[in-house]
Amino acid sequence: MKITLIQQNLIWERRSENLQGFERVLPLIPSGTDLVILPELFTTGFTMNAASNSEAPFSETFQWMARISAEYCFAMCGSYIVEENSLFFNRWVFVTPENSWWSYDKRHLFGPGGEDKIFTRGSERLVLGYSGVRISASVCYDLRFPVWIRNRNEYDLLINSANWPESRRDVWITLLKARAIENQCYVAGVNRVGTDGKGIKYCGDSVIINPRGEITAMAGKNKECLVTGEISMAELSDFRLQFPAGKDADNFTLHP
């Protein structure tokens, strides 16, 4: 599978302008790309003004993703603010050219930023199958909670869409590597750049990491760019056979 990460500056609370910004770079995506990954809250930035920036589950942003996916023949994913039953969700959505879709509501809401006071946390993990790859979703702060993310031969690729501040840059890279190593999977982490409406800076560092914890593709710091890399299910299978650490993992039951 060929994956392209879009590392972009996000204009604070300006949905249409952000969608236009992503659309401008779509023609630069390498041919043969199977999956395009966008950051967390890619239409607004990490705002807590959910009431004025939310949308219904299948409205503007969903329709935009579906249109782009069909037009360019690649799957697309990322999170944005959804209001459903008078509740707000940081909802990660995955759409395909075949008109299939899945969603995941961010489980671990960022308390220090007040996210837990505004949004409703998700209760279910997501594993989906696309183009021969089993994919699991996580959003930003989820990355700090390995029990929730633990892979028991359920998925091959872990995606994290994030708004991860520059002040915790080393933590971002360290946790992405750790999740790849302990779960024996590929990890794709997509972060934004620029400064948000609260003055918080983001430097990007969007990255693809292999099951050994090695960086195979990485974006530049503080620059808008595309990062493309390939993941191999054959190589992943061989690695798991040669070093079957998962067989020795502790069993547990997760109670969401």
**pLDDT for the residue 15:** 98
Token pair listed for 253: 């039951």
For residue 23, indicate whether it is catalytic.
Answer: no
pLDDT-derived band at 246 (thresholds 50, 70, 90) equals confident
For residue 106, indicate whether it is catalytic.
Answer: yes
3-class secondary structure per residue, 3-26? EEEEECECCCCCHHHHHHHHHHHH
54-87 pLDDT tens trace: 999 999 999 999 999 999 999 999 999 999 999 9
**Is residue 256 scored above 90 in pLDDT?**
no
pLDDT-derived band at 252 (thresholds 50, 70, 90) equals confident
- Is 252 buried (19+), middle (13-18) or exposed (0-12) by CB count in 10 A? exposed
**pLDDT for the residue 152:** 93
Residue among 13, 40, 177, 185 flagged as catalytic: 40
Domains assigned to the chain: 2-246 (3.60.110.10)
Q: In residues, how long is the chain?
A: 256
161-190 pLDDT tens trace: 999 999 999 999 999 999 999 999 999 999
**pLDDT for the residue 36:** 98
140 vs 220, residue with greater confidence: 140
Residue among 106, 115, 177, 203 flagged as catalytic: 106
User: 3-state class of 40 per DSSP?
Assistant: coil
**pLDDT for the residue 54:** 98
**Is residue 238 scored above 80 in pLDDT?**
yes
Each residue of 31-55: b (16+ CB within 10 Å) or e?
eebbbbbbbbbbbbbbbbebeebbb
Shortest CA distance to 210 belongs to which of 237, 188, 243?
A: 188
74-130 pLDDT tens trace: 999 999 999 999 999 999 999 999 999 999 999 999 999 999 999 999 999 999 999
Count the Cβ atoms, other than its own, within 10 Å of residue 256.
Answer: 9
Cα–Cα distance measured from residue 23 to residue 27, given in angstroms and rounded to the nearest whole number: 8
Which helix H or strand E contains 50, and what residues bound it?
Answer: helix 50-53
pLDDT-derived band at 212 (thresholds 50, 70, 90) equals very high
pLDDT-derived band at 247 (thresholds 50, 70, 90) equals confident
Shortest CA distance to 24 belongs to which of 8, 43, 12?
A: 8
**pLDDT for the residue 251:** 86
Residue among 13, 77, 115, 140 flagged as catalytic: 140
For residue 40, indicate whether it is catalytic.
Answer: yes
Question: Given the DSSP bridges, would you call strands 35-37 and 75-84 parallel, antiparallel or unpaired?
Answer: parallel
